[in-house]
Structure 1
Amino acid sequence: MESHVKRTAALTAVFAAASVLAAPVAAAETGPPPFTSGFGLTVTEQPAWVDETHRTFTLAVRSDQVPTPSTLPGQTPGQHVLMVTLPAGYDGAAAARYPVLYSLHGNADLPNTQRNLDITESSTRSAPLITVHPNGGRSWYSNWVNPGALGLQNWENFHLTQVIPLIDANLRTIPDRTGRAIAGHSMGGFGAVHYAEHRPDLFGYVGSFSGGLDLQNSEQRAVVAETALDPASGTPTTSVDAIFGPPIWPFDGIWNAQSPAQHVSALRGMGVALYIGNGGDLTVDPLHAVVESRARETNLVTAANLTAEGIPFTFADYGDGSTWAPGCTGKHNQQPCLQADMDHFVGLLMAALRHP
């Protein structure tokens, strides 16, 4: 009897071990690519997935060029979040290299919003393209001339001499202008054209989505000044002369020198695309209607200067949005308009940039 019990126990143990061996083993979850610090940036938070499909991750860095940015609710003082969307099937160990689109957000926005994630993942679902959303604060994507108590605010240096090489060093990019583009919305549209004009060696294509492009326009100057003073754009606030100096003649030389609309000759040989509505019905959502209609004036000046220079460009002047995208009514900050802008722009990039 005792030996029978022992044999039964032994057989039970064998079957249990066999069932464990036969059971399927869950695959280990693959994390996003780790990042190494460099180029004046210290990685303070390693990449972490923020979407279910594991295409988009965020990471955080500190910069010696913008050590103390103003912050919005949810942001960590002294830290910059970057959101990165990878192409489907990205493999850091494979030989394939991908073009990169740098996407610049507008005023009072964040790089890592759900809207930015949704627009980017939708427009790049079938595109072999890396998209990077860097933090832009209330920067106007410029090296400030009078930052005052905020301390060093060299945003152009941060993005062009730190973020770009950090991405190239840590991801499988095509690290030259044949595989690099830049675009942005509103303040980010200004920044995209501004950066492309300053560094045409870096970018093969530039896009502006409802950008305010003419700093010689008094209304556009008022927008920049409001950004500097408004706590809704970040705290602490700053002064109207912090970014470009005094906005009045004869002290406004930097405003004039940094205005994208008047310096389009630097874009020669680059792909250029401008997207703008007219605000639609001004009695519906009047703030965003008026802002878009005023931004359109700065785009018309830019388009006229591009034409005068003989520089080819795409101009999607879509009016009230009725023929542009369902749900787009030509306002300044509408997701359907921005989704259509990005969808169209990604199509242009895939026809122009080098890619797998």
Structure 2
Amino acid sequence: MKQLLLSLFVLIALNAAAANVDTVKTYSPSMKKEIKAVVVTPANYKEKSKFAVVYLLHGYSGNYANWVNSVPAIKALADQHQLIIVCPDGNYNSWYLDSPELPNSKYETYVAHELVKWIDGNYKTIADKKARAITGLSMGGHGALYLAFKHQDIFSVAGSMSGGVDIRPFPNNWDMTKLLGTYAAKPTNWDNASVINLTNLLTPNSLALIVQCGTEDFFYKVNVALHEKLTYQNIPHTFIANPGAHNWKYWADAIHYQLVFIKANLKE
């Protein structure tokens, strides 16, 4: 009986100390609709005055709940690194762009401006780019770098895991023609939407950058190309190429590296 009571006490204590997971409804004025997000706050959220924030983006065909359901460890990581982690819904194929073809798909505006404003207004955040980071997987890896490159006044640290950092080699994939038109008919849309073409927006140390991709990933070559271009342009960044494919096993491991890097480069 004593052992049972002790076990129950330990279980209650562990649950009491666990990070909190909220599913919230945000509002996008640009798209005139509610959009859900998961917000993970550290266990000591009530005791501490303010926290840095990491925006963590899902991949193609995913949703706001993917990360917390597929990698429950992010709750412990929010505690470990003392971060608020926000997982927005980017629709199944928004690529986190303001689509030139679909006027009602404005996920660049939503994540970089509307969501950030909502989170800062509803949570105890350090509402400054120095304490705000963004990363993601696959479509979300593209989205994180795309948004950070274009909105350096909003984010100071950016990462990518298995990111689609150049979409032009994949003109018939992932419903992107709905967002951009066909590559044959509208190549400029595709050029403007590819992260690898946005490095001219960067100056040395304007963003702390970490790019990671598995060597068996179909996006591996475009990630190596981005790394080589950043190196040629003397843009400091961390590039990790390690064994792995385009799957949750890889991303569950990669998020640990990403958050260590992010935490080290945020200024709280």
TM-score relative to the length of structure 2: 0.86
Q: Between the two proteins, what is the percent identity of the paired residues?
A: 25
Quick check: 1:110 aligned with 2:63? yes
Query: Secondary structure of 1:126's match?
Result: helix
Query: Secondary structure of 1:243's match?
Result: helix
Of residues 257, 261, 270, the one that matches 2:192 is: 257
- Whether the aligned pair in 2 keeps the contact of 1:104 and 1:188 (CA below 8 Å) is yes
Of residues 222, 227, 230, the one that matches 2:172 is: 222
Q: Structure 1 residues 253 and 304, CA, compared in 2 at 3 Å: closer, same or farther?
A: same
Query: Secondary structure of 1:222's match?
Result: coil
Quick check: 1:201 aligned with 2:148? no
1:37-90: per-residue Cα shift (whole Å, max 9, x none)? xxxxxxxxxxxxxx99351111123423234xxxxxxxxxx5421100112201
In the TM superposition, 1:10-89 aligns within 5 A as 53=18, 55-67=20-32, 79-89=34-44
Q: CA deviation at 1:349?
A: 1.7
Partner of 2:240: 316
Counterpart code for 2:182:
P
Partner of 2:9: none
Partner of 1:131: 85
Quick check: 1:244 aligned with 2:168? no
Q: Structure 1 residues 85 and 110, CA, compared in 2 at 3 Å: closer, same or farther?
A: same
Q: Give the whole-Å Cα distance in 2 for the aligned partners of 1:181 and 1:116.
A: 21
Query: Secondary structure of 1:347's match?
Result: helix
Partner of 2:212: 275
Structure 1 residues not aligned, in runs of 5+? 1-50, 68-77, 229-239, 280-291, 321-329
1:218-262: per-residue Cα shift (whole Å, max 9, x none)? 22x332xx335xxxxxxxxxxx2x31233116x311211221112
Q: Give the whole-Å Cα distance in 2 for the aligned partners of 1:99 and 1:267.
A: 23
Q: Structure 1 residues 135 and 178, CA, compared in 2 at 3 Å: closer, same or farther?
A: same
- Whether the aligned pair in 2 keeps the contact of 1:262 and 1:302 (CA below 8 Å) is no
Q: Give the whole-Å Cα distance in 2 for the aligned partners of 1:316 and 1:168.
A: 31
Deviant stretches of 4+, over 4 Å: none
Query: Secondary structure of 2:94's match?
Result: coil
Q: Please give the root-mean-square deviation of Cα atoms over the aligned residues, in Å.
A: 2.0
Of residues 318, 325, 334, the one that matches 2:248 is: 334
Q: CA deviation at 1:198?
A: 0.8
Q: CA deviation at 1:117?
A: 5.5
Pick which of 263-272 and 180-189 moved more: 263-272
- Whether the aligned pair in 2 keeps the contact of 1:275 and 1:341 (CA below 8 Å) is yes
Partner of 1:101: 54
Q: Structure 1 residues 90 and 52, CA, compared in 2 at 3 Å: closer, same or farther?
A: closer
Counterpart code for 2:247:
N
Point out the structure with max Rg over C-alpha.
1
Q: Give the whole-Å Cα distance in 2 for the aligned partners of 1:129 and 1:265.
A: 30
- Whether the aligned pair in 2 keeps the contact of 1:124 and 1:346 (CA below 8 Å) is no
Of residues 153, 156, 175, the one that matches 2:108 is: 156
- Whether the aligned pair in 1 keeps the contact of 2:26 and 2:118 (CA below 8 Å) is no
Of residues 105, 112, 119, the one that matches 1:167 is: 119
Q: Give the whole-Å Cα distance in 2 for the aligned partners of 1:345 and 1:106.
A: 16
1:168-215: per-residue Cα shift (whole Å, max 9, x none)? 111111111110000010000000010011101111110000001013
- Whether the aligned pair in 2 keeps the contact of 1:265 and 1:306 (CA below 8 Å) is no
Partner of 2:12: none
- Whether the aligned pair in 2 keeps the contact of 1:278 and 1:331 (CA below 8 Å) is yes
Q: Give the whole-Å Cα distance in 1 for the aligned partners of 2:64 and 2:71.
A: 9
Counterpart code for 2:172:
A
Q: Structure 1 residues 83 and 116, CA, compared in 2 at 3 Å: closer, same or farther?
A: farther
- Whether the aligned pair in 1 keeps the contact of 2:19 and 2:78 (CA below 8 Å) is no
Q: Give the whole-Å Cα distance in 2 for the aligned partners of 1:310 and 1:145.
A: 32
Q: Give the whole-Å Cα distance in 2 for the aligned partners of 1:316 and 1:110.
A: 26
Of residues 259, 263, 267, the one that matches 1:350 is: 263
Counterpart code for 1:218:
P
Q: Structure 1 residues 124 and 345, CA, compared in 2 at 3 Å: closer, same or farther?
A: same
Counterpart code for 1:120:
I
Q: CA deviation at 1:311?
A: 0.8
Equivalent pairs, count: 249
Of residues 275, 294, 297, the one that matches 2:221 is: 297
Partner of 2:96: 141
Query: Secondary structure of 2:56's match?
Result: strand
Counterpart code for 1:253:
T
Counterpart code for 1:61:
T
